[in-house]
Amino acid sequence: MCQSPQVQDTKVQTITLMNQKGGAGKSTAARVLLSAADTKGLRCAFIDADQTGNLANWAIRAAAAGLWSSGIDAYQTIDAGEVAEIVEEIEDEGDVDLLVIDTAGDASRDHDTFAILADLILCPILLSQSDLETAVGTANYLFRMRDRASNPALLPAFSVALNRLSSTASKGDAELIRTIHSNPLVGIDVDHPEEVLQILPAVLQEREAYKTMDRQGLLGRVLARQNETSPAFAKNPKHMMKALNEADAFLTACMDIALRTKE
């Protein structure tokens, strides 16, 4: 039997990426958040708690290419207890504005620990029925945590982040979005929905710039490197600037929710 989660408030804004399946874009969302925070000059840290190590390996590649930031501390562990210790250490030091935790794409019991460390649980999904069902499963798991938490009011906010959206929504995409916004989907289980699934008011489109980011490093650093060698008329290409603006809106939406959780 799971113990009652002991939820505590924190100063650092902690965003935990959680989805009970892989391939929905958790690591990409984490890279976007860190890139946007770096561009804004925020002090950041991340914990890669996913067995794949995608986020940590990205940071290693970026550092080797000179496209990383000394203002981002990196940690890697799949041990939930160690994650909690790292978070406590970061909170005690008090010099980090944003902490991003990337979790495994499964239904691990460790998610209890990851959840209570967060201000916002962010669940990236592709716009598909199967991903929606997985997001509902994650939301229902957090809904049920209210019965086990010592103070349910301090549980993290939960939001779904739509990822890799096409610039032109299909009829099926539009219908799925209407379903999400209009129908209660979240409750004790799928047969007892009580609440509408919360959708982050910022999305990530399918962009070549994010693929470049994933290969090379922090988005703003990649752009700065390109500008160093580009002629004046080719500096700040539109596709990169659009991605940076979108990343900033994505980060702002997440941090606004995380901040409200602390109030």
List, for residues 162-172, the tens digit of each pLDDT value: 999 988 878 88
**Mean pLDDT, rounded, of the chain:** 91
Over residues 42-97, the pLDDT tens digits come to 999 999 999 999 999 999 999 999 999 999 999 999 999 999 999 999 999 999 99
Q: How confident is the model at residue 214 (pLDDT cuts 50, 70, 90)?
A: very high
pLDDT at 8 over 70: no
Burial readout 231-255 (b: 16 or more C-beta within 10 A, e: otherwise): eeeeeeeeebeebbebbbbbbebbb
Domain map (residue ranges) of the chain: 13-262
How far is residue 37 from each of residues 13, 74, 91, 234, measured CA to CA in Å?
Answer: 12, 14, 18, 25
Mean of the pLDDT values across residues 230-255? 96
pLDDT at 119: 95
* Strand-pair partners of 165: 205
Residue range 13-262, CATH number: 3.40.50.300
Per-residue confidence (pLDDT) for residue 262, from 0 to 100: 67
Whether 50 contacts 17, CB under 8 Å: no
| pTM for the whole structure | 0.92
The model's confidence at residue 130, banded by pLDDT at 50, 70 and 90, is very high
Phi, psi of 234 (to 5 degrees): -105, 5
